[in-house]
Structure 1
């Protein structure tokens, strides 16, 4: 399959490696010349779950028009707060209404935002599918290298109404991904919005004092953080139930993904610290880190929108969002994914089901 991977960061480099190794024709698009220059010069060195080696995508470019010219499908691996702008840029570059788009990941509300933004510039909407979380745990140890320490074993995917071609493409390209039924189920199983905000808020002073020189999922996973995480997860599960979904705890979801041990008790939130892919990950180095900029504004904020539509009280979620807003006041941050950006202003359960094709 001819695949355009949009985004040359951790997720994009990992996707380019996996898809190239699987025999697909990959065009990698990066917005920054500085980011893609090492890949252009010597390919992408990789190590981890796919072994060790170096791949050279068929094309590496900063031109989105060039990257999508012959593509069968676009896989978007950019940070979730970039999805709205990518929708507009894809339209401007000539992406029509028939070729599918796979958001890897969409996180919470990503498919809604991408669809809404595309509709603002075009009536020809491409098939859209999203993954609940990024398929990889990956970090760049060098500008031309990617260390892929984890690959999701089971990965929730879902499509908006009319997105059958996108869900089909996504499940072919990324073995282990599966159609979980609808986008709400996918949105609510974004594990990052549960496992990042409690530790980020309660560990913020440690982040600022040490520049993140501690392990986020081990040293940072204190008893107080766990109690907040448990309550946040209970609220997520309650919202899911209101929409007709019997969701597992976040630990159960992470067991399926493969980021906690397979024998972990689904009620034991400390199991996060035992996951091989997580135990060495350092804390954010500042309040500008994506755990602060992404998982609140594009995780918990859209979750609150869904909770309001469902009529479920979410006091812990609201407290985290409010504290975060005070903490980062005056700092650069992306606009939140709210009801307007997702096209859900005034939405009801009935109108939401219509948009989902239910």
Structure 2
């Protein structure tokens, strides 16, 4: 099994390191020309990068992939599995770049998805299987262009597969790559709705905007933002989200219960206790408002949610309000070019049956 990790950010390098630790052949493809460029050149010179894995007793090791490149053809033809770890805002760009080199039988994994498989299908006319994750298997960050620090892992990492009939095959492969990735969702829409970033990123920034700007880099979002009143907003969002889950044959699951399921080994612990423990171990940030927490998760996550809600006729007033106020914060219209179900299905008029057909 050969895997190309597409994306040289925190997520890409962390997951590549864990794959290498698991003795899997890995290549790394950088698709951007600006983000993390300094570290990219260092990695190329050193033919790898240093890792400190705090999820494994602080183990330090040197991750040495087969290649670290910007050569798209080399990277795509090398792999059986392509793991897309860029931001979801880059899905269209990445799909167009890799499409000429994708071959039948490859698996394309989107981490996370937001139903981005449907974007890749627009450009890739091959017999390809897609898998979407609601979040990452491991978390951490690049530290001062010196090493990659892995700080947290999800004991349970759920994935979905398109087409659904390939679920067993893909789940078997993914669980060999990452032992915590042995759980599944019904379809890519359920994975999108359980993406935690869609809820906590916009809400955390929106209700802490003045604190973020005033603190000048000393804001700890998960520790500071989610007071009792802000948690009430998350719960109000959950009511609307769970209505949508039920419309598509999925079990309702509140945000904090979903977070506990992902983050905690012991499911007997209270969900809020788990969330507070996660908050205490989380990193600082964001340090500015014009951040991907709004620029990515509002148009791609909330935009998708709102568009589907309108199709099936459920109340989407909470995410709509968050999108409106986030747009006002940034002084730009985040609904413009948002990821909508109409855009993904390339139809002006979408019905619930259209959505059910494509996700199955």
**What TM-score, normalized by structure 2, do the two folds share?**
0.89
1:27 CA drift (Å)? 0.4
CA distance in 2 between partners of 1:157 and 1:65 (Å): 27
CA distance in 2 between partners of 1:257 and 1:18 (Å): 18
Instruction: String of CA shifts for 1:89-114, please: whole Å, max 9, x gaps.
Output: 1113x1123211111221x2222333
CA distance in 2 between partners of 1:303 and 1:250 (Å): 15
For residue 225 of structure 2, the aligned residue among 207, 220, 244 is 220
* Inter-CA distance 291–19: structure 2 relative to 1 (3 Å threshold): same
Q: Which residue of structure 1 lines up, in the alignment, with residue 86 of structure 2?
A: 78
Q: Which residue of structure 2 lines up, in the alignment, with residue 179 of structure 1?
A: 184
Q: Which residue of structure 2 lines up, in the alignment, with residue 55 of structure 1?
A: 63
Q: Is the 8 A contact 2:157 2:262 kept in 1?
A: yes
For residue 102 of structure 1, the aligned residue among 104, 109, 112 is 109
User: 3-state SS of the aligned residue for 1:347?
Assistant: coil
CA distance in 2 between partners of 1:330 and 1:317 (Å): 17
User: 3-state SS of the aligned residue for 1:49?
Assistant: helix
Moved more, 287-296 or 33-42: 33-42
Q: Which residue of structure 2 lines up, in the alignment, with residue 240 of structure 1?
A: 245
Q: Which residue of structure 1 lines up, in the alignment, with residue 311 of structure 2?
A: 309
Moved more, 2-11 or 307-316: 307-316
1:176 CA drift (Å)? 2.3
CA distance in 2 between partners of 1:27 and 1:199 (Å): 35
1:155 CA drift (Å)? 1.3
Q: Which residue of structure 2 lines up, in the alignment, with residue 343 of structure 1?
A: 345
Alignment of 1:240-259 (within 5 A): 240-258=245-263
Q: Calculate the aligned-residue CA RMSD, in Å.
A: 2.4
Q: Is the 8 A contact 1:155 1:176 kept in 2?
A: yes
Q: Which residue of structure 2 lines up, in the alignment, with residue 329 of structure 1?
A: 331
Moved more, 123-132 or 198-207: 123-132
For residue 286 of structure 1, the aligned residue among 276, 288, 296 is 288
CA distance in 2 between partners of 1:264 and 1:123 (Å): 47
For residue 130 of structure 1, the aligned residue among 132, 140, 145 is 132
For residue 299 of structure 2, the aligned residue among 297, 309, 318 is 297
Is structure 2 residue 359 aligned with structure 1 residue 356?
A: yes
Q: Which residue of structure 2 lines up, in the alignment, with residue 28 of structure 1?
A: 28
CA distance in 2 between partners of 1:224 and 1:344 (Å): 39
Q: Which residue of structure 2 lines up, in the alignment, with residue 197 of structure 1?
A: 202
1:6 CA drift (Å)? 0.3
1:288 CA drift (Å)? 2.1
1:292 CA drift (Å)? 1.5
Q: Is the 8 A contact 1:261 1:271 kept in 2?
A: no
For residue 216 of structure 2, the aligned residue among 200, 211, 220 is 211
| Number of matched pairs | 348
CA distance in 1 between partners of 2:346 and 2:264 (Å): 32
1:4 CA drift (Å)? 0.4
**What TM-score, normalized by structure 1, do the two folds share?**
0.89
1:5 CA drift (Å)? 0.4
Q: Is the 8 A contact 2:202 2:294 kept in 1?
A: yes
CA distance in 2 between partners of 1:349 and 1:341 (Å): 15
User: 3-state SS of the aligned residue for 1:28?
Assistant: strand
* Residue ranges of structure 2 left out of the alignment (5+ in a row): none
Q: Is the 8 A contact 1:208 1:287 kept in 2?
A: yes
Q: Is the 8 A contact 1:260 1:272 kept in 2?
A: no
User: 3-state SS of the aligned residue for 1:292?
Assistant: helix
Moved more, 323-332 or 243-252: 323-332
* Residue ranges of structure 1 left out of the alignment (5+ in a row): none
1:273 CA drift (Å)? 2.5
Q: Is the 8 A contact 2:323 2:334 kept in 1?
A: no
CA distance in 1 between partners of 2:333 and 2:340 (Å): 19
